[in-house]
Amino acid sequence: MSVVTACQLHLVFCHQLLVEGPNFEMQQLHDTNWFVCNLTTPANFFHAMRRQMALSFRKPLIVMTPKSLLRLPEARSSFDDMIEGSTFQRLIPSTCEEAQNVKKIVFCSGKVYYELVKERSQKHLKGEIAITRIEQLTPFPFDLVKQEIQRFPNARLCWAQEEHKNAGAWSYVEPRLRTVCRKLSKPKKIEYAGRFSSAAAATGNKQMHLMELSQLHDAAMDISPQPEGAY
């Protein structure tokens, strides 16, 4: 016999890739029977909690976020982002204004966004690379991703994550990005910027950790010409 139970459950998992090694603050990001969010702003965290209680239906909410964002000056929100008229953002669009000049859209989720913005600024690529945050991974925001891809008609697509390839959201997000492209009749290769697959949660070696991070940044910021195509 099936039992229908309304669930207001909130789970907050500390999630980031640390140099220390396995068993340190690493969760699996994707599932389909609950909300899974990897949030980047205090306002969106507030709205996610508020929405969880205000919805007319009940579904568990999983929030993936590192403790380091508590101390990051860039990760802040004004009260205007939390008062009446504001709402939860499933996707936070890029702030790039000259869409025709954008050569690459980098989709990401969570803390890695701030690292990518810093790297883009250092390489003076703000007008050529758009960085878009997917705040809610599950259910996937197909409609908003579609709008973002349509904003930048000449841009390549990339997914960036700090986790290893077999641990982050890549295997979940990549086919969904391809689905959006098919719906737009614009098949594109979805590039990957991140660490290689690994059986361990982290290297356990600071030098190796920083080298992997540098490779991630280089791949995300790469706008050199590449052949078009889809997987």
Task: Look at residue 4 and tell me if it is in a domain.
Answer: no
Q: Please identify, among 81, 113, 133, the residue that sits at the C-terminal boundary of a domain.
A: 81
pTM tops 0.95, yes or no: no
3-class DSSP string for 167-197: CCCHHHHHHHHHHHHHHCCCCCCEEEEEECC
pLDDT at residue 97, rounded to an integer: 84
pLDDT of residue 199: 86
The answer on 179 and 207 residing in a single domain is yes
Residues 160 and 190 in one domain: yes
Q: How many domains does the chain have?
A: 2
Same domain? For 70 and 125 the reply is no
- Residue where a domain terminates, one of 54, 81, 108: 81
Predicted local distance difference test score (pLDDT) of residue 33:
73
Of 66, 51, 64, the closest CA to residue 11 belongs to 64
Name residues of the chain where pLDDT drops below 50: 1-2, 24, 229-231
For residues 76 and 96, membership in a common domain is answered with no
Q: Which amino acid is at 119?
A: E
**Listed residue (109, 135, 91) closest to 17, CA to CA:** 109
- The domain in which residue 38 lies consists of 10-81
| Bridge partners, 104 (sequence order) | 129, 156
- For residues 218 and 131, give the distance between their C-alpha atoms in angstroms, rounded to a whole number: 14
Same structural domain, 129 and 211: yes
| Same domain for 192 and 95 | yes
